[in-house]
Chains A and B, each alone.
Chain A
Amino acid sequence: MKLKTQILSLITFITTLILFSSCVNNSNQQGALGGSAAEKVYVAPGEHDEFYAFLSGGYSGNLTVYGLPSGRLFKEIPVFSQFATNGYGYSEETTPMLNTSYGFVPWDDLHHPDISQTKGEIDGRWIFVNGNNTPRIARVSLSTFETEEIIEVPNSAGNHSSSFVTENTEYVVAGTRFSVPIPQRDMSIKDYKSNFKGAISFIKVDQETGRMNIEFQIILPGFNYDLAHPGRGKSHGWMFFSTYNTEEASTLLEVNASQNDKDYIAAINWKKAEEYMRAGKFTEMDTEYAHNVYDEHTHTATSTMMKKVKVLDPAELPGLVYFLPTPKSPHGVDVDPSGEYIIGNGKLSASLTAHSFTNMINAINNEDFSGEEYGIPVINYDASVSGVVEGAGLGPLHTEFDGKGNAYTTFFISSEVVKWKLGSWEVIDRKPTYYSVGHIMIPGGNSGKPFGKYAIAMNKITKDRYLPTGPELEHSAQLYDISGEKMELLLDFPTHGEPHYAAGAPADLIKPNSKKFYKLEDNKHPYSVQNEGETKVERDGNVVHIYMSTIRSHFSPDNIEGIKVGDIVYFHVTNLEQDFDVPHGMAMIGANTSELLIMPGQTKSFRWDPKKVGVWPFYCTDFCSALHQEMQGYVRVSPKDSNIKLSWMLDGE
C-alpha cells in the first residue's frame, strides 16, 4: 500500500512536470506563433511592403496591385474593361484599346498575369495578362502601371492557356481553351471531332519597346488547352500546355470530357518552330485581329486591323510537338525552377504527376511512343513520368515552387494547400484554405528564382469569412508564411473580382522604376497645350475642340460661349502640373461618358453633345487642393441657329 502510494505520488509528480513543461513549451511556441502572425503582416504606417502582388481581377477585367505581407490594395489597373474611375475605355484616347475584330468590346475576363523575365528570373519590366472571352493578350507597363498594348488572338476562343512568358520574354504564349473551326465556317457542331482545331499562338515581344507581334500559331488537335508554363534552364526552348477533352466532346463535357483515363500535356519545342519558320515551312492564312497600342507620349491609343497570320502544322513538321499522357483532365501544368519537372495537376485525380524533362528527351530520342494523335507522337507514359505524389488531396489545380526544393499544390475539393518535396514526392505539410482554393502564388514562383517567403492562396468560395454583404461576395485570399518546414496561416483578406493566377515580385525590383508624372515637354498629344497661353477653342463646322488646361486650382478657359445645340464638343484637357500625385479630374453635366482623371503632364479628351440650351457647369472631380471646390467653369449653350460668337476666357483674359 505504501509502495503503491509512493508510486502514485511519483507518477503525479512526473505527470505534473511533463504537463507543466509541455505547457510552458507549448505556450512559448503558441506565443511565438500567435503573436508573430500579426507581427509578420504588420507594416507600420508609412512603411512599405516587401513584395508587390498582381492579382488578376477575373470578370472585373482588371488587374489589382496589392502589397505583401500586409494584403493592402494599392491600385486597380484597368485592362480589358471600361473603367469610369479614370476614363479608361471611355476617353477618346483609350477607346481604341478595346477595339477588336468584333468591334468595341468593353469587357473581358482577365486570368493569368505573368511578369517579364530575363534569364529565367522575373525582371519587373512588364506584366502580361490574358482576356479569356474575346481572346486578347495585354501588356501592362510596370513603370506607369497602365495598359500599353492589347493584341487580339485570331483562330482562338476562350484564351485560357495564356499569358505565359518564355525564359527571356522572347515570347508570350496564348492557347485556346475552346477548339473551333479554323478558319471559322458554318458547319454542324456534330462534326466537331477531327474538324475543330486548337490554335497555340507565340507572340514575339520586342525587348526594347515590349511591342507584341503574333510570330506564328501552331494548329493542334481539337482538344481544350487549359494552362501553360515555360520550360526553363535545361528545358528552355520548350513550352508545356495542359489539355483536357481529348475525347473531343462538344456537349455535356462534365461527363463526356472525363472519360479518358489520361489526357495530355502538349510539349512544344518552340526553338524547332523558329527553325521551321526560318525555313519557310509555314502557311500564311487570312484572318482578322486588332492590334492596339498606347503611346506614352501622345497619351493616345491606335488600333490597327491585322489581316494575316502564319501557321505551322505539327503533323507535317516532325519534332515540333509531343504529347505527354497525364491523368484525369490536368488543369495546371507547372515547371519547377530547375526546368526538370513538369507537374500535371489532374483536377479529377487525387494524385499529381511529375514528368521529367530528361526522361522526355530520352523517350523522344528512343522513339518510345505509345501512339499518335493526328500525326503527333504520344510519349509512353512510363517513359516520361518521374514520380507521382500519391493521395495528396482531392482535386489538384495548381502548383508553385519555393526554390528550396518544395512544391505547393492547391486542392479545390479538399480545400487545402499541400506542401510536398520534389524528387521524393512526399507530402510534408497541409493547411486548409477558406474555401476551395484555385490558384496559389509565390512571388517568382513561375520562374527560375522564386522568393519562397510567402504564398497566397486565392479561393473561389468566401461564405462566412467576412462581414456579410448580401449574396455577392468578394473572393477570399489567404497569406501563408512558407519560410519554415510547416506553413503558417498569417492573414485572410478579400480580393476584387475573381482572382485566377497572380504574379509577385520583390518591391525593390519595381519600386525604383515607378513613374511619378509625365513630362509636359514630352507630351505629343495633338490637342495638348504646354501652358495656359496655348489654350483655345476651335470650331470646324459643328465640331468644336476645346484645348483646355488644369493647374491648381482652375481650368483654362473656364468660361466658354458660342456653343450651340447639335454641336459635337471635344474637351481636351492637359494637366499642367509637374508634381507627384497631383491629378485633376474633369466632369461635364450631362456628358454621356465617364469623367477624365488626368495625371500631371497628360492630356485626355471626352466628347460632349450639348442637347439643352442653357449655361452648364463643369468641375474638377479630384480633390486637388484646398481650393478644389473653386475649380469649376461654365459653358453657355445657345440655340442651334444662334449668332453668338465663339469666345472663351479665364478671369477676363
Chain B
Amino acid sequence: MKRKHYITLSGLCLALLISCTKVDKAETNASSNLHNNTPLGQASVVDEDSDLNILQVAISSADHSTLVAAVQAAGIEHILVNAGPLTVFAPVNSAFDALPAGTVDNLLKPENKAQLASILTLHAAPGSYDKEGLIKSAQKGRKLYMATGDYLDVTLDGEDVLVNGAKVLATIQTSNGIINVVDQVFLPKNK
C-alpha cells in the first residue's frame, strides 16, 4: 500500500516534471542555456587537442581524486581552466585523509560550499611559481600571495621546499599554470 502510493506520487511528479520541461523547452528554446541551473562555463569547452590544463591534469591524477571531488563540490572548476596565470597547490588524497575524521565529508556538504570554496582558493596563487621560483621566493624571504588575499610562508628544509609547512612533492607544468603537489592541506588561520 505504502509503496503503491509512493509510486503514484513519484509517477505524478515525474509526469508533471516532464510536461513542465516540455513547456519550458518550447518557450525558451533559443535561450535554454541561460536558465540552466549550472550554466556552461569554460570548463565545459570541448578541446581534445590542446595541452591539458590544471583541472584536466588533476582529474587524470588518481592521487587527487579527493581534491577534484572538492573542486566540483565547490563549483570552482571554471576558475581552474582560466587563463590565469595560476599556481595551484594540490594536496594528495592522503593529505585530506590526515585531516580530523569527518572534516572532508562535512566540507562536501552543500551547505558548506562557500567555506569549501574559500579553503580551496587558499591553494591558488595568482602568478607562476614552479619549484625554482618557490626556492627563489624562500631565499629572498618573499611570502606567497594567495587568491584569498592571505600570505603563506615559503621556506626551505634541506632539498625540500615547504609552503605553509607543506612539502612540495612535485611540480607539473600545465597549459594554463603550474601545479605543485603538496603533502598537506592548507587551512585558513583563525582571524
Chain A residues within 8 Å of B, Cβ to Cβ: 1, 4-5, 8-9, 11-12, 15-16, 19-20, 23, 26-27, 30-31, 33-35, 37-38, 254-255, 258-259, 327-328, 348-351, 391, 394-395, 412-415, 432, 434-436, 460-461, 463-464, 488-489
Contact = CB atoms under 8 A, between A and B. Distances in A.
A34 B32 contact: yes
A328 to B, nearest CB: 7
A445 B149 CA distance: 29
A413 B84 contact: yes
Contacts, number: 136
Contacts of B39: 432
Contact of B41 (A16, A258, A350, A432): A432
Contact of A434 (B41, B83, B147): B41
Interface stretch (B6-14, B97-105, B179-187): B6-14
Given A34-B34, A464-B45, A23 B83 contact: no
Contact of B8 (A12, A394, A436): A12
Given A31-B27, A328-B145, A434-B42, 6 more contacts: A11-B9, A37-B34, A255-B142, A350-B121, A414-B78, A432-B78
B82 A415 contact: yes
B5 interface: yes
Closest 5 CB pairs of A and B: A34-B28, A23-B20, A31-B27, A8-B5, A435-B42
A394 B121 contact: yes
A26 B24 contact: yes
Contacts of A414: 76, 78-79, 82
Given A254-B127, A255-B133, A328 B29 contact: no
A415 B78 contact: yes
A40 to B, nearest CB: 10
B172 interface: no
B145 A258 contact: yes
Interface string B159-191: 000000000000000000000000000000000
Contacts of A37: 30-31, 34
Q: Which of B17, B76, B133, B149 has the most CB atoms of chain A within a 10 A radius of its CB?
A: B149
A8 B9 CA distance: 9
A649 B134 CA distance: 79
A9 B29 CA distance: 36
A350 B147 contact: yes
Interface in B144-159: 145, 147-149
A198 B35 CA distance: 48
B144 to A, nearest CB: 10
A37 B32 CA distance: 11
A37 B31 CA distance: 7
Contacts of B32: 34
A233 B27 CA distance: 46
A12 B5 contact: yes
Contact of A30 (B2, B28, B45, B145): B28
A8 B145 contact: no
Nearest to A435: B42
B47 interface: yes
A391 B122 CA distance: 12
B13 A15 contact: yes
Interface string B115-155: 00010010000111000010001000010010111000000
A4 B2 contact: yes
Nearest to B50: A463
B69 interface: no
Contacts of B28: 30-31, 33-35
Contacts of B78: 414-415, 432, 435
A30 B35 contact: yes
Q: Which of B8, B47, B86, B126 has the most CB atoms of chain A within a 10 A radius of its CB?
A: B126
A328 B1 CA distance: 65
A463 B126 contact: no
Contact of A350 (B1, B2, B20, B149): B149
A34 B35 CA distance: 8
A35 B27 CA distance: 6
Nearest to A7: B5
A5 B128 contact: no
Contacts of A434: 40-42
Given A394-B79, A413-B126, A434-B42, A254 B149 contact: no
A464 B40 CA distance: 11
A267 to B, nearest CB: 24
